Structure 1
C-alpha cells in the first residue's frame, strides 16, 4: 500500500528482541508509537487518514497524518477528505484504524503484516466493550500480535508524574483532551473508575469555535483560516482568563492594557506597484505622437469629405442636365423618357436634386440657415412636389387617389418637420439671447449676479423637491418624515384626487337603483371634468427641472465652489461608493477577546450548545460519585489535582481551575493544582516505563486466551497500575 508522508522509516526494527513490547498511545489527536523502555516515541503523526486518487494515473494513495501540502495539487481530494477513526475519544471506524496501524508499524520498521511483539495500547476511560473487542480482533487476526494490554492514558501520565514526585497517591487527574475531557480520582495510586466523569468538549471544539469567530470577523480572509493554521494560532495566542467578565469589560472599554493583550497576525501582502509620474520628455513624446495621429485622421477625413463633395457635385450636375432635357420633352413623353433613368416623374427628379443640394451644403459645412433658405426657394409652398392635393377626388382615378393620400401624408410630415426645425432654431436664438443677457449682467456686477443665481437655484430646487414629495405621499407625512407607509390615495395630486371623487360619487349615485348613466346629456359632462387635459400639474415641473438644470450648469461655470444638491428621492442618482485600494492594514488579523473567549468553553460548554459541566464543576461531581466519602478523603483528593492533556497547556489554566474548585469546596479546604511535566508525552512515557517492567507480561492477555475464551477475556480484563 503506497503511503505519502514526510516521516522517515526506521531501520532498527530487527535489533529489538520479540520480548520488547511496542507501546502505542492511540490518542484522538495524535498517534504515538515506540519501544518500551525508551523515553521518546519513535513515530508521531496526526491520527487522520485521507485516500485521494492521483489525477494522472487514477491510483488511490493513502495519506496518513501530516503531509506536504504541495503534493495535494497532484491528487483529487474532492471525494476524500481527512477522516478520523474516533467518535468522542472512542474508536469506531476500524477500517481507518487499520490504515493508521499499518502506517505506524511500517514507519517503525516492521516488514510485512506479522508483528511478533507484545502491544501496550492506550484507551479512554471506561472504553466500551465493543470497541475494545474490535481492537483485540484487529491486532490478533490481522497482525498476529502475541499478547495485548490496555491502559488509560491519563492514568499512565498520573503514575509517571507520581514517580517523579509531582503528584501524590491520592488525587484527581483532570485530562482535557482533543474531543473529550475526563476526571479520574486516584486512591492509593489506583484509579477509581466509579467516580470518573466525562464531558464531550476539548481542544477540537476550541479550534472550531475560534475558526468560526475569525471567519465571522474577517469574512474576506476566510480561506486563510485553515484548520492547521487556526490550531497553531490557538496554541500560540490563547489563554485562560482569571475572571472572564472582568477581562471582557477590559476589552470593551478599550484600555491600554487591552491593547497590550491584543495580538496581530500579518497576512502576506504585496504593495501595488507605484507608477512614477512621466517625465517632460515622455509627455512631449506622447503629445507628438498624439498630434501626428490626429493630423493623419484629419487628412483622412478631409480626403473623404472632398471625395463626397465631388460625388455630390457630379450627381447635382447630372440631375440639372436631366431637368434641362425634360424642358424640351412633351408632357406625355416624360414617363417613357425617364424609364431608363430610374425616375418616374419630373417632380421626383426635382426632389432628388433638392436632397443632393442639401447634402452638398451640409458636406461643405454651410450654416443651417442657408440650407433652410435653399429649401424655401426650391419649394416655398410644396405645390410642385404635391400637384394632386388641389385636385378634387372625383376628378382622379383610384390610383391617383392613393397617390394623393401619400402626397398629403408627405406634405404633413414635411411641414411638421419644418415647424420643429423652426421651433428649435427659435429656442436656440432665445437661449443665445438669454446667455448674452446673463453674461452682460455678470460683467456689470459679478457679486450681485452670483447672489441672484444662488437665490433662484435655491427657490427652484425647493419647488422641485416639494413636488417630488407631493408626488410620493400627497403632502401627508403621518406625523413623521417617512413616506414608505402611506396609502395610494395619499400619493395622488389634487387633480387626481378630484377625479377619484367624481368617479366615487357617480358610482355611489348610480348604484342604488337601475344604472341609467348616459341617458342624459349632462351625464357625459363628467368625462370633461375628469379629462387629463385639465391637469396641468405635470407640465410646469418639467419646465422647472429644465430651468434648474440650466442654472446648475451656469453656476458650475461661474462659481468653482458650487456643489449641486443630490437627489435624495431617487436612489439611482446617489453616487456609488468608490473602492479604495487595499493596504497593509486590510491584511492584518487582530486577536483580542478571541484569545480568552475560545478556551473559556472548557468551563462553560453551554456557549457552544453542549449542556454539560465545566472543568471545575466536574471535579466536584467526581468527588461526590466516590463510593467511600469523608472530609479527610476529599481534602486529600483536592490537595493533588493533576492536570494533563494537550488542552491543559493554556496559560492561566491552573489559577482558573483552582478558583473554580474553591468556589464549590468548603472554606479553608486545601487545594493544590499541579501540572504534568509534559502534558502531551507523559502518557506514552508512563506506558513505556510500565511495559519495560519485568511484571508486564502478567498484565496482558494472549492470543491463545482470546481464541480459547473468546470475547469474555476482553470483557473481564482489568489493568492494574500499582506495580508502576
Structure 2
C-alpha cells in the first residue's frame, strides 16, 4: 500500500558506505533516524500508523506519522484511529513497527528492502527479552541488517551531556518521556539498571488531562481541541508550580497575579454584519405593501362570505320548496317521495332547515328577518311536546321523549351562549371603565395594578405553599412548614384516611373477616371519592392574575411576571444572545500547572505510583550502599532529559522535592540537558561513530548461535 506523508525522501543514501551505521531513536512519541556522526537526525515523524479508506473507491492507504490535513477531503480518517506499536514504552505490536521501519528506511533513501548498514536502535531500560528478540528478528529477516546494537536513550543522553561537561560521571538521569518516566543511577559513566526506578506517567498523561479539562470547560469547542492543538498548548503555556497548594489558593482568590498568569487562546471568529436600520422610505413602502395585501385579503374574505351566503340561501329555498311539496303528498306516499331526496322523514328536513337558517344568520351577521321562519320551523320540529301523552301512540311517545331531550339540550346550549355573550359584554364594559381610569391618571392606574398583582400573587403563593408543605393554624396566623400530609388534608380526605387505617381493626382481634358481609364493601365506595384539590382546574384568582399580568405587560415594558402555574399565560422565552469575540476564547488558568503536577503526584489522575522526586529517593535506596560521600556524588549531578522535562520550573521543583527527602545540608544540583529531546539521538550518533561500536554489536549469526539467553544478558558499555 502507498505511504502518505509530508516528509521528503533523502537522495544521498548511496553516498554512505556500508560500514556507516544507521542510528534510530525509537521513542514512544517520535521516531528519529539518521546517519552516525551527524549532529541531527535526517527524518523525524510521529511514531503512529493510520490506515484510512478512500471515500469513493474504498482503497486503503497507510499513513505514517503526521499527515497532510487535506487528506481528510479524500480519505475517511474517523473510523481508523492512530495506532502505536508501544505498550507504555515497550514495543509489542511488531506489525505496526514494521510499517514504521519501512517508512523510516524509505524516507532515509533506501532503494530496496535490503539495508546493508549496521543499526543502533534505542530501547527502554530493562527491556524484556521477548521484545529484544522480536526486534532483532525483524531487522535481520525483513531488512537484512548485518549487525544490530541496543542502547538506552536516557543513557545516551547522559553520556552525551557528560562529554559536553554538563554533568559528572557519577549522578542520576531523570528521564520523563511520552509514556513513562525513569530514574537511572550512573557510576563512572555506566548505568546501574538494578537500581533504576520507573513509573507509568509521562507527557501523554499530561496532554490527555489538559484535553479533558478543556473539553469539560468548553464543550462547545470540542471540535477545535484536537490532540495536536492541545499538545501545542501544553508546550507553550504549561509550567510546574514550585508550591502547588499556594498556587491553587492564588487562583481561588482571583488575584491580579492569577489574572496575569491566565492565558487566552483566541479561536477563529468572524463578526456578524451589522444590521442597518431601514430608512423612512423603506418603512413607508413596506407599510403600503402590507396595507395592499390586507385590502386584498379583506376583498377575498368578502367574496367568500358572499358566495357562502348565496349557497345557504339557495339551500334554504330548496328545503322550503321540499316542505311545501310534502304538504301536498299523502301520508302513505311520503316514504316513496323522500326516497330520491336523501331524507328519511319530514322532521329531518325541518332540522336541516333550522341548521341552515342558523348558519345563514351567522354568515349575515345575526340578521333577524328570518326569526319568524326559524320559530315556525322549531315549533314544527318539536310539535309533539305540547300534546298530552294520552293522545299519542307508543311510537309518538318515543318521538316525544326524543324531542323533549333535543329541545332541552338546545335550550341549555342557547343559555350557555347567552351567558358567555353577557360575560363578554361585562368584560368589555369593565375594560372600558379601566381604560377611562387609565386615561384620567395613567401613573396612579399603573401603580394600583402593580399593588393588586402583588397582593394576588402572594395570596396564590401562600396557598400553594400550604398545599405542598402543609400548614398549622395558630390563632389567625397560618404557619407553613415541613409537616406531614395528614395535617394538610381536607375533611373528606381525612375521613378516607381514617377509614383506610382503621378497617382492619373494626373487627377486633383475631381472624381477619373483612369482606364477609356485603356492607363491608361499601367502604371502598367511600374511599374512592376523590375530592383532592390537585385535580381541580385553575381557580378564579389564578385567572384574574393572568389577566393582570397580561395587562401590565401591555402597559409597562419593564414588567417581568413571576413564575405562575401552567394554566396562566406563559412568559416569553428569552431570545438567543448574539455570539461575540469573547465566546470564542479559551482561557487556560489553573490548568497550566495542574496538568504538569501529574508528574510529581500521579494520584491526581488515579495512578497509585511515585512522582519524580520520590522516584529519586527510591532509586537511591535501591542503590548498593557505598557511604554517605558517594550518595552526595549522585545528588551533585541530577540530569533532566526527555520531552516532559521542558516545562518551566521543572528543575527547581525537582530540587525542592529531593531536598525534602535527603538529609539537611546534602549538596543537590539539578541540571537540564542541552537538548532534552534530541540529546538521546545525538549521543547514540556519537557512540555509533566511535571505534568501540563495532565491538558492541551482534550479527545475525551470533543471534542464531547464542540464542535468547545471551541476548538477555546483552548490555553495551557506554564509557570508553
Normalised to the residue count of structure 1, the TM-score between the two structures is 0.88
Q: Which moved more, 1:198-207 or 1:408-417?
A: 408-417
- Tell me the secondary structure at the aligned position of residue 37 of structure 1: coil
In angstroms, what is the RMSD of aligned CA positions? 3.8
- Which residue does 2:213 correspond to in 1? 213
* Deviation sequence 1:10-66 (CA, Å, 0-9, x none): 111111111111111111111111111111111111111112233333333211111
Match of 1:388 among 384, 389, 395: 384
* Deviation sequence 1:246-305 (CA, Å, 0-9, x none): 222211111111111111111122223332222222222222222222222222222222
* Residues in 1 aligned to 2:193 and 2:517: alpha-carbon distance in whole angstroms: 101
- Tell me the secondary structure at the aligned position of residue 580 of structure 1: coil
Residues 1:138 and 2:134 are matched in the alignment:
no
* Residues in 1 aligned to 2:404 and 2:78: alpha-carbon distance in whole angstroms: 76
- Which residue does 1:108 correspond to in 2? 108
8 A contact 1:639–1:672 mirrored in 2: yes
* Deviation sequence 1:456-502 (CA, Å, 0-9, x none): 5555444434443344344359999987x765434522343245447
Q: 1:697: how far off?
A: 1.0
- Which residue does 2:7 correspond to in 1? 7
8 A contact 2:184–2:191 mirrored in 1: yes
Q: 1:689: how far off?
A: 1.2
Q: 1:414: how far off?
A: 1.7
Q: 1:75: how far off?
A: 2.6
- Which residue does 2:660 correspond to in 1? 663
| Correspondence 1:533-552 to 2 at 5 A | 542-552=539-549
Name structure 2 gaps, 5 residues minimum: none
**TM-aligned CA distance change 1:373 to 1:458, over 3 Å:** farther
* Deviation sequence 1:167-205 (CA, Å, 0-9, x none): 122221111111111112222222222222212111111
Q: 1:103: how far off?
A: 0.8
- Tell me the secondary structure at the aligned position of residue 381 of structure 2: coil
Q: 1:374: how far off?
A: 5.0
**TM-aligned CA distance change 1:669 to 1:88, over 3 Å:** same
- Tell me the secondary structure at the aligned position of residue 579 of structure 2: coil
Q: 1:231: how far off?
A: 0.9
Q: 1:224: how far off?
A: 2.1
- Which residue does 2:63 correspond to in 1? 63
| Correspondence 1:691-702 to 2 at 5 A | 691-702=688-699
Residues 1:497 and 2:494 are matched in the alignment:
yes
Match of 2:563 among 563, 566, 577: 566
**TM-aligned CA distance change 1:606 to 1:371, over 3 Å:** farther
**TM-aligned CA distance change 1:571 to 1:418, over 3 Å:** closer
Match of 2:712 among 712, 715, 724: 715
- Tell me the secondary structure at the aligned position of residue 150 of structure 1: strand
* Residues in 2 aligned to 1:533 and 1:636: alpha-carbon distance in whole angstroms: 90
8 A contact 2:180–2:201 mirrored in 1: yes
Match of 2:616 among 614, 619, 642: 619
Q: 1:559: how far off?
A: 6.6
- Which residue does 1:414 correspond to in 2? 410
**TM-aligned CA distance change 1:503 to 1:235, over 3 Å:** closer
**TM-aligned CA distance change 1:371 to 1:215, over 3 Å:** farther
- Which residue does 1:43 correspond to in 2? 43
8 A contact 1:510–1:517 mirrored in 2: no
| Correspondence 1:188-587 to 2 at 5 A | 188-321=188-321, 348-366=348-366, 370=368, 374=372, 377-378=375-376, 382-391=378-387, 396=392, 399-435=395-431, 457-475=453-471, 487-498=484-495, 500-501=497-498, 509=506, 542-553=539-550, 564-567=561-564, 576=573, 578-587=575-584
* Residues in 2 aligned to 1:238 and 1:19: alpha-carbon distance in whole angstroms: 44
* Residues in 1 aligned to 2:44 and 2:284: alpha-carbon distance in whole angstroms: 69
Q: 1:685: how far off?
A: 1.0
- Which residue does 1:680 correspond to in 2? 677
Q: Which moved more, 1:337-346 or 1:705-714?
A: 337-346
Name structure 1 gaps, 5 residues minimum: none
Q: 1:219: how far off?
A: 2.1
8 A contact 2:174–2:641 mirrored in 1: yes
8 A contact 2:600–2:613 mirrored in 1: yes
Q: 1:716: how far off?
A: 3.1
8 A contact 1:641–1:672 mirrored in 2: yes
Q: 1:569: how far off?
A: 9.2
**TM-aligned CA distance change 1:144 to 1:476, over 3 Å:** farther
- Which residue does 2:16 correspond to in 1? 16
Q: Which moved more, 1:47-56 or 1:573-582?
A: 573-582
Q: Which moved more, 1:683-692 or 1:502-511?
A: 502-511
8 A contact 1:705–1:713 mirrored in 2: no
Q: Which moved more, 1:180-189 or 1:545-554?
A: 545-554
- Which residue does 2:179 correspond to in 1? 179
- Tell me the secondary structure at the aligned position of residue 272 of structure 2: coil
8 A contact 2:115–2:145 mirrored in 1: yes
**TM-aligned CA distance change 1:683 to 1:360, over 3 Å:** same
8 A contact 1:510–1:516 mirrored in 2: no
* Residues in 2 aligned to 1:20 and 1:536: alpha-carbon distance in whole angstroms: 95
* Residues in 2 aligned to 1:82 and 1:533: alpha-carbon distance in whole angstroms: 65
- Which residue does 1:642 correspond to in 2? 639
8 A contact 1:119–1:145 mirrored in 2: yes
Aligned length: 716
- Tell me the secondary structure at the aligned position of residue 24 of structure 2: strand
**TM-aligned CA distance change 1:230 to 1:374, over 3 Å:** farther
* Deviation sequence 1:207-244 (CA, Å, 0-9, x none): 11111211222222223222111111111111111111
- Which residue does 1:54 correspond to in 2? 54
**TM-aligned CA distance change 1:302 to 1:185, over 3 Å:** same
- Tell me the secondary structure at the aligned position of residue 389 of structure 1: coil
8 A contact 2:52–2:76 mirrored in 1: yes
Q: 1:592: how far off?
A: 0.9
- Tell me the secondary structure at the aligned position of residue 116 of structure 1: coil
- Tell me the secondary structure at the aligned position of residue 81 of structure 1: coil
Residues 1:593 and 2:603 are matched in the alignment:
no
Q: 1:510: how far off?
A: 6.1
8 A contact 1:209–1:598 mirrored in 2: yes
* Residues in 2 aligned to 1:117 and 1:571: alpha-carbon distance in whole angstroms: 86
**TM-aligned CA distance change 1:420 to 1:373, over 3 Å:** farther
Q: 1:617: how far off?
A: 2.0
- Tell me the secondary structure at the aligned position of residue 168 of structure 1: coil
**TM-aligned CA distance change 1:432 to 1:13, over 3 Å:** closer
* Residues in 1 aligned to 2:253 and 2:320: alpha-carbon distance in whole angstroms: 94
Q: Which moved more, 1:536-545 or 1:43-52?
A: 536-545
8 A contact 2:48–2:83 mirrored in 1: yes
Q: Which moved more, 1:112-121 or 1:551-560?
A: 551-560
- Tell me the secondary structure at the aligned position of residue 384 of structure 2: helix
- Which residue does 2:166 correspond to in 1? 166
